[in-house]
Structure 1
Amino acid sequence: MIKITSRKIVSSVITAVALTTGTLSASDVVATVNGDKITKQDVAILLGNPNINFDSLPKKNKNQILDQIINNKLLTKKAISNGIEKDKEYKENLEKLKQDLALRVWLKKESEKITVTEKEAKDYFNKNKAQFKVPATLEARHILTKTEKEAKDIIKDLDKASNKKDTFVELAKTKSVGPSGPKGGYLGKFPETKMVPEFSKAAKALAVGKYSKTPVKTQFGYHVIYLEDKEAEKNLAYNEIQERIKQVIKQKKFSDKLQSEANKLRDKAKIVIK
């Protein structure tokens, strides 16, 4: 598997180049400054997010973003008119930027040469099926008390109730000392291994729509648990994740290719580290 750091480097490089080399349409232009266009790509670059949907942003945020871009463009024009392009520091930094852009564009073009066959993707899937599982999940409520007696009294009240779930919700709101109490003790859906072992074991053992008949002791106190639902662990099918697999393989191939190329160049280079 490719290291996360390498994936991020490759991904960020390709994204940055894609943002600056895409084809513009009339709908991409969101404003102009003295005829100079401000595009959705300008917004994406400013925010560092190629997936940002400018049209869906609140008007206040749009205005703030546009104000910043407009100011930047106006100040840039002023800097140029004041002769900044003749400045030594500007020229040195421009050369560095040109080299960085050369690398970015080259990396993008090299990445586009990488292909992944259907056989490679299926082989990867078959050899790594353990990675493509959705863990078992539980959906539960609980009532947390400080003492075992309080928990036992709550269970007695539930035993007497005709509508167990509604009674559980009301008791959670009035009796539970946990933060989920105001929400009727609702904990949402969670992997069965997320909670402390004692809680997970007790919740997993319940049938859907049932509550624990004895208090469950954990480091937090005593719990009465109500199981809303449970879903068993399941394997993802190949067609559900084939694109993700192909992307992983492509990134690994690209990372290996870059490392191999760098090693060859390093062997021929004179490198001095001070």
Structure 2
Amino acid sequence: MLTNEYLPFLSEIKKVIKHTDIEYTFRLTYEGDVKPGQFFEVSIPKYGEAPISVSGIGEGTVDLTIRRVGKVTNEIFERYVGDKLFMRGPYGNGFDINNYKGKELVIIAGGTGLSPVKGVVDYFSNHSEETKGMTLIAGFKTPQDILFLEDFGRWQQMLEVILTVDCAEGDTACQIGLVTQYIPELKLKNVAEAVAIVVGPPMMMKFTTQGLLDRGFREENIWISHERKMCCGIGKCGHCKIDDTYVCLDGPVFNYIKGRQLLD
């Protein structure tokens, strides 16, 4: 039986969480398998669709953290609890939790790059016994740009957390500086066997992965996400194609051995 891969389904908004003036998390109904780092196409008739990374996985729900940046997302922000959105997916290659179990894990995220990896942070903060130690380094432009602020309070009780901002005025509970400056300070028992995830803007990922390599991490022990390249989700439009790689099909999560060839 032929199916239409572009055909979306309706999903109900169960909760809306405001982080900043332009970034909200929408908790939507969804039954099925999904991994952190995968994405859904969210659409509204007459306005179009937008690829959004999964930022949380619950019982019968997924969280999509959305930034208000254009025609489609502007319209999504007019929806409230009880309203419905069209979705299709999940698409792409996500983070496989099994790659990080039993290891020292370092997650470094810049800005909205925290969204696709948040599911990994949530999992290991709830199952800390499944790692040999975990550190989260998360960087934002200013204190007003921080996402998931309430979650940071919970994470800090279960793992090592470094929350930093590029700049701040007045008193702040955050450290100040780029995420890369904290890499040399990582407390690791066996860096050669440690694993890392890096997600953020292209230049941030470039210098962060280099910092990890300088610190002694192996290339095969680093994962990155090209979530900014996502487009149609099924390899038809070609917008995400880099050489012979379709990011929406083969990614957006890549081991660094492959992902380093795709860095902008």
- Confirm or deny a common fold (TM above 0.5): no
Larger proportion of strand = 2
Looking at both structures, which has the greater relative contact order when contacts are Cα pairs under 8 Å and sequence separation is at least 6?
A: 1
Q: Which has the larger radius of gyration?
A: 1
Which TM-score tier does this pair reach, normalised by the shorter chain? under 0.3
Larger proportion of helix = 1
